[in-house]
Amino acid sequence: MKRVISANQSVSYAVLSAKAQVIAAYPITPQSSIVEMLANFCSTGQLHAKFINVESEHSAMAACISASVVGARTFTATSSQGLALMHELLHYASGLRLPIVMANVNRALGSPFNLKADLSDSLSQRDTGWLQFYCESGQEVFDTIIQAYRISEQILLPVMVNLEGFILSHTYEAVDIPDQVQINRFLPPPAPRDCLDVENPCLFGGTTDFYINFRYKMHQEMEKAKAFCQECDSEFQKTFGRSYGLTQSYLCEDADMILVTAGTIAGTCRVVADQYRKRGLKVGVLRVRLFRPFPSEWICKALQHAKKVAVIDRDFSPGCGGIFAQEIKSALQGTRVSLPVYEFIAGLGGKDVTDEDIGGVVEQTNQTPEPGGVTWIGLLK
Amino acid sequence: MDRTTKMKFPIPEDELLYSGHTACPGCGAVLALKYVLKGLGPRTMIVIPPSCAGTISAPFPFSSLKIPVLRIPFETTAISASGIRAALDVMGKKDIHVLAWAGDGGTYDIGLQALSAAAERNDNIIYVCYDNEAYMNTGIQRSSSTPEGTWTTTTPSPYLKDTPKKDIVRIMAAHKIPYIATASIGYPPDLIKKVEKAKQKVGTKFILIFSPCPTGWRYSSELTIKVAKLATETGIFPLYEVEHGEKYYLGKKRPEKPLKEYFSLQGRFRTMKEEDLRRVEEKVRKEQEYLGRMAG
């Protein structure tokens, strides 16, 4: 059935549909309404889960880890400072190969304080062994959470589903919440795996020189995960009639210039692409939905016929530039695709990225023969 | 002949700790673990943060314990136990005990926040702190459980630790949890009885076990039991229980020996001055009075 809900509520409904068994969370703006709603589902008995009111995000992830080692389906949600506090545990969750699903509502990291959208919080966690998805709509958020459980339980790695604070998290739209029978078919209860068990006592998390082998296994699974995420998305399409891909191309096939971005900025980019096409400039848009593992093959394929690429990052690595831009350049390196990559940073701290801003990106990329450093969009006077 | 029939309090014969573990000779902590597991039995899951216990129990791919073990990050002992408890409850496995097992560093210092939160929620777990009064696994650095006047590698002479041992029991009692006990590896039957009592109660149970460490306390390894008993006999580590943060039950042992007997056995107190000793004696006497009053 369709409900007009916010993307945060979409997260909560997805976790309800996925029948999470243990939820541990700590409130933080702009994530709070996710956990309030889940606490309500648990207290009314709609969701048969144990909700643990922890004293920190660090403990939220620790609870998900230990509950998951026992075999329970777990969930938490956080944002910004909370995600940063979890950092140590993120490594631990992936190292133990646990199928934990987390929603992160992207928010800027202090200092200075800013409660609004910025992808730097989750991108700072890129080396922790979590799969990372970046969503564009409330519907995609719902669908990606459902997919995330199926993916994580198959490959035994945790999944982070990202949605931008306020811009997406607090925007209401019509979201289709599929029938529970259909969801159950797509996402059956977790299959048995090695767990803490008094009948078969084992040690989890011991000290070992096999460390490098554990990391190699994780690398192999991450590589396989790309195809599995693709397959999961196709299966989702068959069951629910919606799919997103690992990347989403808009008019890329014949484009001379492709705008690459993640999250909600993509929608504005598509509008601007349409405007420029009417004026005769062939602009396309590539939205990167899966960030870890990085779908290099998909991206290079989408970009291969373009003449110029402009990457718009709502994130920033000081001393380097936009994080997506670095990843895109790294993906293109070593392939036969040789493309000038123009780098733009925009919308940090929730600043609106308008069609005029994107128009500026297109103009600058079109008029400049060679890329020259990072351009910052929308600095206040 | 069944040996247990001759004992006043039969100690369960089943061992859940394998021989061949990697503890130092004379380790008090490993005795604490052995006795607690005897009290809890095989339907127990344990979480262990970085600590001597972690090193002893988990040299992958081997395990020194016959129960499921989860090694967890340092600050997370209590919440990790709570997470297991939550999962077991949701999955209908309510008869399994969840044991949180941390040293004094993992309890008094880095793990205190998560422990306080678990106690405030009254999560149904048994939390044991084996107290050897310093960070022994990393090489004898002071913790907030280190008593005043103690030498450690981070309180070297002449700058010995100059603040008293943190009173973790009073902190836990302030949470009004159903059961708190102090116990000692010098008195195994008393220790196991307290574990069995904790087993019967629902909610957060906290047991502080005095666990001498020959390596860190600088005494000869055959003296572990003697040192443990002296701590109680001199009154510096009294044995007592607290129910719901209010009802105190003091053990029968009353301090009868001079504190100097306890201090003089250990190299860690070697450079302690006479006036420091007298000050500590006075504090021990006051604490005894306090516990006496609380126990009525």
DSSP string, A146-170: HHHHHHHHHHT--EEEEEETTTTTT
E strand map for B30-175:
44-48, 69-71, 97-103, 126-131
pLDDT at position B60:
81
pLDDT at position B7:
63
Residue of A21, A62, A71 with shortest CB distance to B72: A62
Number of H helices and E strands in chain B, helices first, is 11, 8
Question: Which three-class secondary structure state does DSSP give residue A75?
Answer: strand
Q: Do A202 and B44 touch (CB under 8 A)?
A: no
Q: How confident is the model at residue B1 (pLDDT cuts 50, 70, 90)?
A: very low
At residue A51, does pLDDT exceed 70? Answer: yes
pLDDT digits (tens, 9 = 90+) for A114-161: 999 999 999 999 999 999 999 999 999 999 999 999 999 999 999 999
At residue B253, does pLDDT exceed 90? Answer: no
pLDDT at position A334:
77
Strand partners, B249: B241
Residues of chain B in contact with residue A58, where contact means CB-CB under 8 angstroms, are 75-76, 114
pLDDT at position A129:
98
Best residue of B21, B56, B60 to probe chain A, by most A CBs closer than 10 Å: B60
Q: Pick the range with the lowest mean pLDDT from B37-46, B54-63, B153-162, B222-231.
A: B54-63
Contact indicator for A84, A109 with CB cutoff of 8 Å: yes
Q: Under an 8 Å CB criterion, which residues of A touch B? A: 21-22, 24, 48-50, 52-56, 58-59, 62-72, 74, 88-89, 92, 196-198, 201-208, 210
Q: Which whole number is the average pLDDT over A55-67?
A: 98
- Minimal CA separation from A68 to chain B, in Å: 8
Residue of A68, A69, A203 with shortest CB distance to B63: A203
Kindly report whether the peptide bond that precedes residue B61 is cis, defined as omega within 30 degrees of 0.
yes
Please give the backbone phi and psi of residue A108, each rounded to the nearest 5 degrees, phi first. Answer: -65, 150
Contact indicator for B125, B205 with CB cutoff of 8 Å: yes
pLDDT digits (tens, 9 = 90+) for A257-306: 999 999 999 999 999 999 999 999 999 999 999 999 999 999 999 999 99
Kindly report whether the peptide bond that precedes residue A190 is cis, defined as omega within 30 degrees of 0.
no
Q: Which whole number is the average pLDDT over B26-53?
A: 97
pLDDT at position A338:
86
**Domain ranges within chain B, ordered by starting residue:** 16-295
Q: What is the ipTM of this complex?
A: 0.97
Residues of chain B in contact with residue A201, where contact means CB-CB under 8 angstroms, are 42, 63, 65-69
Residue of A198, A205, A207 with shortest CB distance to B43: A198
Contact indicator for B97, B43 with CB cutoff of 8 Å: yes
Best residue of B62, B64, B84, B115 to probe chain A, by most A CBs closer than 10 Å: B84
Going by C-alpha positions, the residue among B148, B167, B168 that lies closest to residue B269 is B148
Question: Which three-class secondary structure state does DSSP give residue A338?
Answer: coil
pLDDT at position B62:
86
* Burial of residue B11 (number of CB atoms within 10 Å: 0-12, 13-18, 19+): middle
pTM of the full structure? 0.97
Rounded to whole angstroms, how far apart are CA atoms B197 and B178? 11
pLDDT at position B57:
85
Q: Pick the range with the lowest mean pLDDT from A52-66, A332-346, B70-84, B205-219.
A: A332-346
- Minimal CA separation from B179 to chain A, in Å: 22
Residue B41: closest C-alpha in chain A: A198
pLDDT digits (tens, 9 = 90+) for A319-377: 999 999 999 999 999 788 789 999 999 999 999 999 999 999 999 999 999 999 999 99
CA dihedral A321, A323, A329, A332 (to 10 degrees): 180
Contact indicator for A257, A282 with CB cutoff of 8 Å: yes
Strand partners, A160: A102, A132
Q: Which whole number is the average pLDDT over B95-111?
A: 98
Q: Do A59 and B76 touch (CB under 8 A)?
A: yes
pLDDT digits (tens, 9 = 90+) for A62-118: 999 999 999 999 999 999 999 999 999 999 999 999 999 999 999 999 999 999 999
Q: Do A52 and B121 touch (CB under 8 A)?
A: yes
pLDDT digits (tens, 9 = 90+) for B174-201: 999 999 999 999 999 999 999 999 999 9
Half-sphere exposure of A121 toward its Cβ, with a 13 Å CA cutoff? 33
pLDDT at position B10:
81
pLDDT at position B6:
59
Residue of B42, B60, B89 with shortest CB distance to A208: B60
Q: Domains plus CATH for chain A? A: 2-240 (3.40.50.970), 247-376 (3.40.50.920)
Going by C-alpha positions, the residue among A243, A264, A233 that lies closest to residue A162 is A264
Q: How many CB atoms lie within 10 A of CB A220?
A: 11
Residues of chain A in contact with residue B65, where contact means CB-CB under 8 angstroms, are 201, 203
Q: Do B69 and A202 touch (CB under 8 A)?
A: yes
Q: Which two tokens stand for residue A158?
A: 């945790």
Length of chain A: 381
At residue B4, does pLDDT exceed 90? Answer: no
B/e letters for B93-129, b = 16+ CB within 10 Å, e = fewer, are beebbbbbbbbbbbbbbbbbbbbbbbbebebbbbbbb
The CA radius of gyration of chain B, in Å to the nearest whole number, is 18
Averaged confidence pLDDT in chain B: 95
Residues of chain A in contact with residue B113, where contact means CB-CB under 8 angstroms, are 55-56, 59
Length of chain B: 296
B/e letters for B211-234, b = 16+ CB within 10 Å, e = fewer, are bbbbbbbebeeebbbbbbbbbbbb
pLDDT at position B5:
54
Q: Do A62 and B114 touch (CB under 8 A)?
A: yes
Q: Which CATH architecture has domain B16-295?
A: 3-Layer(aba) Sandwich (3.40)
